Structure 1
Amino acid sequence: MEWNMFKITLSTDDLQNYVFQQLNNFYPDNRLLNKDTLFKQSFNHALERTEYCFQHVALQAYHRKGTTFFSHLHSDQYTLFLWFLSNSVWKRYEDTELASKLFNLNKTLNGVLCMYDAGMPNIFLIVHGGAVLGKASYSDFFVCYQGSTVGAVNGIYPKLGKGVILAPQSSIIGDCTVGDLVTIGNQALLRNKDLKSRSLYYRHIDTGQHYVKKSSTSWVQSFFNVPIIPNGDDL
């Protein structure tokens, strides 16, 4: 089916019913029926946001014959849609009950802990699920892999620039200001430390020590089909 030139594996009605039935199966408290209108309006808003996000993704699975594509059976795509839906419910209606159910559904199905009121950007990717994304300051073109964490130390969260990517099992926590086009390597931990733009921060596989080096190319650019233009002054 198509929705504003956005190809979806289910019709919008079927996709809405699909999510609706999942919520009622996992949380059979019979309280969702009273919120049908809220759910439908938030659903349409979430689809708009999902389409906008996917339009910028370079990965083949997000496009079919030149048209942006969304499969309800592609877990990474469905993860993003569920987050947009939970956030739309929160932003438009401040309905914590329905937003919490959608958050819990995403956590249950995809292992993603990202609260409905987190400040996720308009364009981002979660690859392979299993991520913990706290209420940091995010920017567009954020990418994280499985096992990655963005969290706080003593209530202070990181500030992430444009085009930050976290490799599997990596973390950014605490009072960190991270520039644009920064790569955090596998199993690396950035804690209460700043990184300039175009940095590669990685953990040595043998010694476990962490290193920083300047990077002339950015891994994150390969995930998107538009140039990521840095905002940072430290290029």
Structure 2
Amino acid sequence: MAALQSLRSETVAKVRRHRERHKNDRIGWLRAAVLGANDGILSTAGLVIGVASAEATRSNVLIAGVAGLVAGALSMAAGEYVSVSSQADTENAERELERKELATDAHGEHVELVNIYIGRGLDRPLAEQVADQLTAHDALGTHLRDELGLTDELQPRPLQAAFTSALCFAVGAALPLIAVLLASPTHMIWPVAIASLISLAVLGAVAARTGGAPVTLGALRVLFWSALAMAATAAIGSLFGVSTS
């Protein structure tokens, strides 16, 4: 008996130590934070480089950059709030529909649940037993999770997404503006571009690592598209600067 109790205690301790760290609980805030910071750096850097390429003064470049920071942060917040709110509305409607179906056709919903478990590899007796026990425990939660893929952990949070996006955009947008302040008034483009690309590469690497993806790939793809965007804005700024001079 003592040996059995010792074995049980050891098994429980191993289970407690073995807590898998999946990335699903990070998807919501990570997406909003990465998009916000990435857009803040890239859009402001592109705006600053484009205006500077048109031979504008540093004060004009800073005015354009600050305006871009404010407008971009508010735009990101509004966009995220509307997008995530729409997702939340859709999921709430699905919850209400599932609740009504359970109230009006409990047997049909139970059969549907059993078939889901059979499709996942269980034999019918075991699938029926699992469906019975989970339905008795939490019928609505079971159907939302196993039939529709909806869980509390991944529930949309519009205000959180909006605030996170706005804050991260503002922080990201501040980096190119700091580079403008520290650079020479006559040579702003390259310092802004280099500082922004380094920041974007670091951001891509951190986001990739946090999400469990390859770090190098995350940094390189951000660098490629960001450099392309900055080159395009620089070309447009130079073109308009020449045409208006």
TM over 0.5: no
Smaller-chain TM-score bracket? under 0.3
Instruction: Please identify which structure carries the higher helix content.
Output: 2
Q: TM-score, normalised by structure 1?
A: 0.22
Structure showing greater radius of gyration is 2
Instruction: Please identify which structure carries the higher strand content.
Output: 1
**Greater relative CO (CA pairs within 8 A, separation 6+):** 2
Q: TM-score, normalised by structure 2?
A: 0.21
